[in-house]
């Protein structure tokens, strides 16, 4: 593409950002959609976030994605917040408005779109959610908003699971979440469940780690969704498949959260056929990156 005085800039702020796949999503989208836009990652060192957001606004940056460790801290830098982001307490997308940036959370809607694309439903489902950190907490809110039937929230420490359960139940206006210690997984009633792996356990380079390994646990799962996409197939996913379930990774979640951010920045709707073009390119880029890493090791 030709960059000129009319080219709009979007980007990613976080620390570190060297290995992000977001430029693949957004620069490909700009090319396919015919928008004069370029997307670049910006590494923002700790302590410099407020200056970075203020500077981006002064530089006429159209929008920003926000990644770790700033998804909560960035809230203090915003002009306004979307209702979902306010409920979750985390922001991953900034949209330029009059006087400052407005914060959104496209991670959870991205997860929902990814699930829809794989024909996974939340409404009425019995769900096992692993973890009670920031990502799992957001997933719990999403499941409540989308009409989950019951959520068994498993975490190593019970108090954090109870905090998430109290917060989400209060927001939902109903008793939805059953908080449990991870070691109590055998107390989940017999049945078949949608399981969402919301911890960082199993993230590369710790590919062989898994939060639970008991075969009896995986026999309860009809579908497993791991928010991790690196490695391509986590041990959690392998164990779900070994017990006869279907398993998916988080790459489509990454895709759709990016697409939703792009739609917000440009006030457009990205067709599903375009989303699939981006997904194929993203997958090719990711697989090639995996091969390069293996060759270097």
pTM here?
0.93
* pLDDT computed for residue 297 by the predictor: 63
* pLDDT computed for residue 292 by the predictor: 67
Strand ranges inside 98-229, DSSP E: 100-104, 126-130, 150-155, 177-181, 193-197, 221-226
CB of 120 within 8 A of CB of 77? Answer: no
Rg of the chain over all Cα atoms, to the nearest angstrom: 19
| Tens of pLDDT, residue by residue, the chain (297 residues) | 789 999 999 999 999 999 899 999 999 999 999 999 999 999 999 999 999 999 999 999 999 999 999 999 999 999 999 999 999 999 999 999 999 999 999 999 999 999 999 999 999 999 999 999 989 999 999 999 999 999 999 999 999 999 999 999 999 999 999 999 999 999 999 999 999 999 999 998 899 999 999 999 999 999 999 999 999 999 999 999 999 999 999 999 999 999 999 999 999 999 999 999 999 999 888 777 677 666 666
Angstrom distance (rounded) from CA 32 to CA 110: 20
Residue entry with tokens 């017990």: 243
Bridge partner residues of 93 (DSSP) = 65, 104
- CATH, domain range 8-105+252-296: 3.40.50.10860
* pLDDT computed for residue 2 by the predictor: 84
Domain ranges of the chain: 8-105+252-296, 109-249
* CATH superfamily membership of 109-249: NAD(P)-binding Rossmann-like Domain (3.40.50.720)
Pairing of strands 126-130, 150-155: parallel
Residues 6+ apart with CB under 8 A from 62: 8, 9, 10, 37, 96, 265, 266
Pairing of strands 100-104, 150-155: unpaired
* pLDDT computed for residue 294 by the predictor: 65
- Of the candidates 13, 132, 19, 17, the residue with the CA atom closest to the CA atom of residue 63: 13
Residues 6+ apart with CB under 8 A from 88: 105, 108, 137, 138, 141
Angstrom distance (rounded) from CA 90 to CA 101: 14
Identical fold at 8-105+252-296 and 109-249? yes
* pLDDT computed for residue 46 by the predictor: 96
- Of the candidates 193, 108, 188, the residue with the CA atom closest to the CA atom of residue 143: 108
Show the tokens assigned to 89: 């307490």
Angstrom distance (rounded) from CA 44 to CA 79: 20
Phi, psi (5° rounding) for residue 94? Answer: -115, 130
Catalytic machinery residues? 71
- Of the candidates 191, 259, 199, 208, the residue with the CA atom closest to the CA atom of residue 226: 199
């Amino acid at each position: 593409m030709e960059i000129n005085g009319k080219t709009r800039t979007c980007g990613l702020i976080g620390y570190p950002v060297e290995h992000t796949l977001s430029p693949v999503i957004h620069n490909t989208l700009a090319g396919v959609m015919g928008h004069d836009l370029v997307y670049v990652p910006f590494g923002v060192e700790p302590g410099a976030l407020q200056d970075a957001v203020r500077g981006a606004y002064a530089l006429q940056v159209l929008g920003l994605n926000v990644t770790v460790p700033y998804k909560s801290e960035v809230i203090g830098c915003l002009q306004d917040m979307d209702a979902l982001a306010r409920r979750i307490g985390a922001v991953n997308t900034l949209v330029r408005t009059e006087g400052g940036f407005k914060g959104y959370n496209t991670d959870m809607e991205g997860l929902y779109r990814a699930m829809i694309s794989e024909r996974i439903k939340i409404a009425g489902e019995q769900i096992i959610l692993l973890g009670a950190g920031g990502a799992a907490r957001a997933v719990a809110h999403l499941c409540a908003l989308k009409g989950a039937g019951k959520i068994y929230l498993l975490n190593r420490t019970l108090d954090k699971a109870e905090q998430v359960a109290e917060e989400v139940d209060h927001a939902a206006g109903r008793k939805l979440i059953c908080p449990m210690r991870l070691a109590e997984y055998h107390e989940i009633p017999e049945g078949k469940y949608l399981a969402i792996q919301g911890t960082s356990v199993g993230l590369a380079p710790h590919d062989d780690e898994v939060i639970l390994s008991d075969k009896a646990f995986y026999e309860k799962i009809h579908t497993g969704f791991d928010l991790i996409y690196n490695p391509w197939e986590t041990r959690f996913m392998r164990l779900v498949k070994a017990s006869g379930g279907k398993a998916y990774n988080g790459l489509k979640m990454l895709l759709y959260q990016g697409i939703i951010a792009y739609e917000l920045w440009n006030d457009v709707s990205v067709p599903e056929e375009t989303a699939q073009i981006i997904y194929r390119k993203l997958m090719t880029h990711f697989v090639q990156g995996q091969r390069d890493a293996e060759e270097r090791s």
